[in-house]
Amino acid sequence: MSANDSVYSEKIVYAFLKTFFTPSLSKVSRKCVLSIFLNFFIRQYRSVMFPGRIPVAKVDHPLDEKIPFVPSWITIYLDFIGFWIRTITFFLRRYGRRAYKLIGELITHIGKLYAYAAEIYRENLSTTKRPFYIAHPRFILIHLLDPHLMCIPSLHVMVAIYTYKMFARIAKQLGEEETLKEQTAEMKQGALAICQAVLYTKQHSVNCIPAALYAMVCFCPDLFPPEEAEDFSSLLFSPAPSADKAPPGNRVHPAFAPSPKLDETAREEIKSHILALYRRFLAEGKTAKSWGEPLVNFLRTI
């Protein structure tokens, strides 16, 4: 796969210009942006300004201490927005009007994803211990803009999973499944990298990932069925594809970033915990009154 074929080589600005100035995509794009601001930024800032109205749970786990703090992975952590926007650029530049309806669906559901996660946030907020690290300018941005009150379920994980699964679906519906198989694999590895980055940058706990996996199974079971969640969690912390396949350039390519060293015993303990907690949420969800009940109960008893 050449550099020009990589989804990571796409420009974000193209997606903004195309979606906001294409009549059939502009309405869903505006609704998506509004949902993101209302359900993530406004909801958090309101909680900071009026503390105590919504309970806040600390969701750290002892296993978090076994994961090294790797500041360089902040680039991958913050890439979760570019991750789905570059997907839009990729399909619109190559397939034009053929992709409009499918891209509209992707944009619509990204907005709905934020509203879906907010069903938990308005019942119980959550946070973790995160280091006050400002040696990297991107950490300064995080400390300034993110009050860090929406850890469960992790929107980083949810957005990354939804994007890689939708990439595969769009490729299939366009009849390009075989042509784009390398890009589809690249996207899945990119989603895994983002999910690992939330831990390496200490922005989330190991408890946040299984909550997000469960939330995604509830949100789109046809796209991300229970067995897919188990497969995805089993691949966490696995070696990335050979770095010699990575597109050239100075920027870290999330799909091929070498994983920091993690003790093998700790890695297996973390993956076992993620899988066990995910299965617990899934089992409790079968008899719950709502999909969010297992997560809210967890936050109120942790």
- For tokens 């890695």, what's the residue? 267
Q: Are 156 and 192 in contact (CB under 8 A)?
A: no
How confident is the model at residue 243, as a pLDDT?
58
pLDDT digits (tens, 9 = 90+) for 96-119: 999 999 999 999 999 999 999 999
How confident is the model at residue 247, as a pLDDT?
59
pLDDT digits (tens, 9 = 90+) for 21-71: 999 999 999 999 999 999 999 999 999 899 889 999 999 999 999 999 999
How confident is the model at residue 250, as a pLDDT?
43
Q: Are 194 and 157 in contact (CB under 8 A)?
A: yes
d(CA 69, CA 200): 5
How confident is the model at residue 259, as a pLDDT?
76
Residue 275 token pair: 């899988």
Residue 44 token pair: 């958090």
Residue 58 token pair: 């600390």
Mean pLDDT for each consecutive 10-residue tract of the chain (302 residues)? 72 94 95 96 91 94 96 92 96 96 98 98 96 86 88 97 98 96 93 95 97 98 96 90 59 69 91 98 97 98 91
Question: Where do the domains of the chain lie?
Answer: 3-301
d(CA 71, CA 201): 6
Q: Are 248 and 5 in contact (CB under 8 A)?
A: no
Q: Are 237 and 196 in contact (CB under 8 A)?
A: yes
